[in-house]
Amino acid sequence: MKYAVCALALAISGAATAATEQDQSSSAVLLQGFHWHSHASDWYNTIQNNASSVSNLGATHVWFPPASDAASDEGYLPRQLNNLNSKYGTGAQLSAAIGALSANGVKSIADIVVNHRVGSTNWADFTNPTWGSWAVTADDEWGQGTGAWDSGDPYGAARDLDHTNQTVRNDIVDWINNTLKGVGFSGLRFDYSKGYAPGYAGEYADRTNVDFCVGEVWTDLNYNDVDSHRQKLMDFVSGTNGSCGAFDFTTKGLLNQALSFNEYWRLANNGAPAGGIGWWPQKMVTFVDNHDTGPSESCGNGQNHWSVPCDKVMQGYAYILTHPGIPTVYWAHVYDWGLYDAVKAIIDVRKAEGITSTSSVDIQAAESDKYAAIIDGKVAVKIGSGAWSPGAGWTVKASGNGYAVWSKDSGCTSGCGEEDWQRTVIFVYGTTESGQDMFIRGGLDHNYAAANLGKNCTSSNYECAIPIRHNNMINATTVPWKANEQYLDWYGVESGQSSAAEGTPADWTVDTWPSDWGATRTVAADGFGEEPLNLWGAHYWMLDVEMDCNRTANGWFELKTYISNGPGWEADVSQPDAPYASGNHFAECGKINVFRRSEGNPVSIHSF
């Protein structure tokens, strides 16, 4: 599928100058801080007065409505960009609302409309900043635009802007840097992102150094071709060079169908989530409904363009608040529909158990009447009318009509206690032929762990396994083997992992891609190939993960490699200065570890 050859790499985030929530394993929870009718009230004061409540809910970021002067009440027909007096309140009230949230530890996201703009008195007399017909695309309905052709879909209600024009781009950057960030905004939500090439959104995010970036790529969903829909989300993200995420409209549409027609089976695809979070969860921002798709103050009013059934909204939240991606909570649901406590209960579980945008999902059931999954091995969720339970050793933490959320009981024998997640990279040199791949197994030696660490390690309790989260999830060959893998372990296939996996898969890398090999392939863009961390040459297979260093032996762990379809296991090695006797390589958690198959001396073990 096309997804595999797009620039979809977690490692790509290093290429962007902005350190956003989408660049990391994020614990953020976004609150959409308005609905379609919010402009009719003293809205900024409403946000300010609820700042403490927002923080208590568990939201880390609030998405504001468009802040600039506009021809429409809702703000989506921007007029004077640098005038922050709108139907929602004055610029001073906006600043006060953002300040109140900040005082409560909550950041603020600006909704920016850069696809189109209206004039002050007619179609295109743009002021503040002042632009001419050169700022309008040549194919705009106005018929008088003298700019370049539109790089995206048209928008009929206003003039489509020419983002190839340097003045337009510079003025947008100045507006974000000086006007919006000047009142305290730290992140961006791009409206109507399909209206222009995604590279411009990436440029605006990079040049303004924002800490949160998400685009609205809302396209028609054909339920018989879901992959094409989520591919468009991937294309937008990779088009921004990984600087921005995207709202997961695929997951939204699948939830609509599952909840409306008891088609919960739609939420699974080859053992993984069927929405955008099944392909690139780190970059996905999930939601149940928003100001466009759903009702506002009550069921039946507002936009209602593509809403979930009103009586099943909490099932939607049980799903997105326990799954990877950055979840979004809708203001109307928690403050107008009376769902504050129910939503907060699930957010509390998410935060207590450390569920993040990159958490793993082990789907237990996806049938007509129910969907069930276990996330990171410590949170279980069931939605739908069908019966399901994770079994003994779990406690229900939140439940309601058609949903339940459990967490693992305290006193578990594996994966408990304080965690210390650090990026850890392993390179192992090994030559291969077509059809051969390198896998890694590892963890702690069972005898050493029993004698020195008080562990009784088995394949059922995984006490000698090391929890991991894969950073590279785009190599077409290895992604299916990485799905639902939670440990570097000695035991082979984990529950939910592909039966074809011979352990933890590594990705082939080279320091410099030779020109006579054809088009350059890179780990950042393709999941394999040229890699900046590789300083040693071709055939260095790379494992790039977040690892829980608290599960190692004073920072050390063992590993051994296996090459499929031929060479098999490497020979035992004797590594000098190893922390204890073993026939395996020893690597350090939180560092770059470089080895050669069947050779005892490591090439290098060094910090990032």
- Active site amino acids: 191, 216
Half-sphere exposure of 132 (CA within 13 A, CB side): 2
Cis peptide bond N-terminal to 154, omega within 30:
no
Q: Is the dihedral of CA 207, 208, 212, 218 positive or negative?
A: negative
Two tokens, residue 422: 């650090």
Q: Is the dihedral of CA 507, 511, 516, 520 positive or negative?
A: positive
Measure the CA–CA gap between 538 and 534, rounded to whole angstroms: 9
Residues 108/102, Cβ–Cβ less than 8 Å: yes
Neighbours of 90 (CB within 10 A): 12
Residues 191/161, Cβ–Cβ less than 8 Å: no
Q: CB within 8 A of 110, min separation 6: which ones?
A: 64, 67, 176, 180, 185, 187, 188, 189
How far the first Cα of the chain sits from its last, in Å, is 33
Residues 167/131, Cβ–Cβ less than 8 Å: yes
Calculated CA dihedral for residues 432, 435, 436, 437, nearest 10 degrees: 110
Q: CB within 8 A of 362, min separation 6: which ones?
A: 373, 374, 375, 377, 484, 486, 495, 496
Measure the CA–CA gap between 98 and 424, rounded to whole angstroms: 37
Report the Cα 137 to chain-centroid distance in Å.
33
